[in-house]
Amino acid sequence: MAEHIIELQNVTKYYDDNLVIDDVSFYVNKGEFITFLGPSGCGKTTTLRMIAGFDLPTSGKILLNGKDISLLPPNKRPVNTVFQRYALFPHFNVFENIAYGLKCKKVVNTYENEQGERYQKKEKLSKKEIAEKVGRALSIVDLEGFEKRSISTLSGGQQQRVAIARAIVNEPEILLLDEPLGALDLKMRKEMQIELKEMHRRLGITFIYVTHDQEEALTMSDTIVVMADGVVQQIGTPAKIYNEPSNTFVADFIGESNIMNGTVVGDKKVKFCGKTFDCLDEFGLNEPVDVVVRPEDIQMCAPEDGKLTGEVISVVFKGIHYEITAQVGKFELVINSTASRNVGEKIGMNIAPDGIHLMKPKYTTNVFDGVITKHNTVRFADGEFACDVTQLYPGSHIDDEEYLITAAGEKIDLTDTEVKVEVGLHDIEISDDAEAGGTTGHIISIIYKGDHYRLIVRTDESEEDFVFATDDLWNENDFVSVMIPKDKIKLSLKHVEEKKR
């Protein structure tokens, strides 16, 4: 079994009151190339910064070779970082930049005095040793002869190499790389990817790499940690993450996917797009599932031979394949194929059982903690919504003074009653008129599900999420207000439930 060089145990991080890392636990094997992958703001850089020591976890532990280093300052950790913007010292030349860490270092040397007694001395590295090490680091990054150059005369790619040399010259146990290729152009980036991978092989140390570029992650990593919203979504090899995404977020983020709602209709049988398919995943009968099909897993054939039939509505040439979009009933499916088709052509489509991935839907309903107000409305998720409070007590009604009269004739003042609020996935509508709904927020996620979009709207203050389906196309980060019809808000009393437990 491989040795765990870094282990995070239930690490949580708040910036002021914002939760950025939510109870993250994982380990990194020694010598591994591991990538934190996720959209911006998912917490991947924060995780890296906590390993480097620039940020301290609010709770939880970070272990290095089994020792707790959670609170150790960065200069005491045997890790080095390649920064996003390189962070080279502008007042030093290339040699001085790379030698910076070596000049700070002290090594223990053993000497023997005239009496033959051995004694130890903590000493700085000699000039000669430093020059040798810098020279070796420069040759690793292919920058021999650049020692005297000033940082400002270097190109982006050369600065990048100096930044890498400055980190690896200290022979760290772990090299942390924070989106190091983000500022380079595409061709340069591809070359550096290969070089970094090669460097990793030669140096044999652990690389922890942060990127939002899924292709980069797939190309370079031994292991990928997919993160979103401060939570680890999936950990696995690139192939495993691509072929067996554990949820719709991963499926959507890594590569192209067709994501649809389906229902399990039998043993390893799932129904979606109006047809029943064989699959490999087992789920309970009649369970609603998310179905993920990669575009390259849909095979085109003659219309009469296909389980699904549809009409080609667009064809885009992508270099090595065509991206064909087909209309199947009210669904749109994306197919990748080396064969081209014409727009308007009728085609048949088949999907092999191993091309169909079923996932438990993350969201089946929206649940909030709410409070009944004076006017028999309910307050939750930074807003106030009209609702029918009589559903809390069967057979009750509201009298003229806005009191609730139960079936038994009891008079109840519901003000400040804590309730559980439940809203279905299809009962929410949004509007760009901020005044139209009960609360407002920003769209934080959009996933296309073949015939509709699944949106998540997050309120700004308490960060409550509304998950729902809509036919309309919105943009991520749109500011919208959330509308819920009065009869679609399901309320239940909270304290009653607690008693049941």
Partner 1 sequence: MKLPRFSRKTLCIPYVVFLIFFVIVPMLVILFYAFTDSEMRISFTNFIQFFSDPTKLSTIVYSLVIALVTTVVSLAIAYPVAYILARSTLKKKYVILMLFVLPMWINFVLRVNAIRELFNLLSTLGGMDWLANANYFKTVFGMVYDFLPFMILPLYTTMLKIDPSLYEASADLGASGFATFWRVTVPLSMPGVMSGVTMVFLPSMTNYVVSDMLGNAKVTIVGKFIYDYFGNDWHMGSMVALVLLVVVFLSTWLTGGFQAEETARGANL
> In whole angstroms, how close is the CB of 166 to partner 1 at the nearest point?
7
What's the order of all strands across the beta sheet hosting 404-405?
397-398, 404-405, 411-412
> In whole angstroms, how close is the CB of 103 to partner 1 at the nearest point?
8
CA dihedral (50, 52, 56, 59) in degrees, to 10, reads 50
> In whole angstroms, how close is the CB of 196 to partner 1 at the nearest point?
18
Residue closer to partner 1 (CB basis): 90 or 204 = 90
Q: Which two structure tokens, joined as six digits, stand for 37?
A: 């992958």
48 contacts 178 by C-beta, under 8 angstroms? yes
> In whole angstroms, how close is the CB of 131 to partner 1 at the nearest point?
17
- Find the angle CA(231)-CA(236)-CA(237) to the nearest 5 degrees: 140
Residue closer to partner 1 (CB basis): 123 or 476 = 123
CA distance 110 to 335: 67
Residue closer to partner 1 (CB basis): 171 or 323 = 171
Residue closer to partner 1 (CB basis): 125 or 405 = 125
The 8-class DSSP code of residue 203 comes to: H
Encode burial over 58-70: b for 16+ CB neighbours within 10 A, e otherwise: eebebbbeeeebb
Q: Which two structure tokens, joined as six digits, stand for 415?
A: 């003000």
> In whole angstroms, how close is the CB of 138 to partner 1 at the nearest point?
16
> In whole angstroms, how close is the CB of 217 to partner 1 at the nearest point?
23
CA distance 476 to 64: 38
Applying CB under 8 A, which residues contact partner 1?
A: 52-54, 73-75, 79-81, 83-85, 87-91, 100-101, 104-105, 166-167, 170
Residue closer to partner 1 (CB basis): 95 or 277 = 95
Give the total residue count for the chain.
501
Nearest one of 79, 99, 93, 92 to 166, comparing CA atoms:
99
Q: Tell me the residue ranges of DSSP E strands in 30-182.
A: 33-37, 59-64, 67-68, 79-82, 106-112, 118-124, 174-178
Residue closer to partner 1 (CB basis): 165 or 347 = 165
Residue closer to partner 1 (CB basis): 84 or 396 = 84
CA distance 151 to 138: 14
Residue type, 313: I
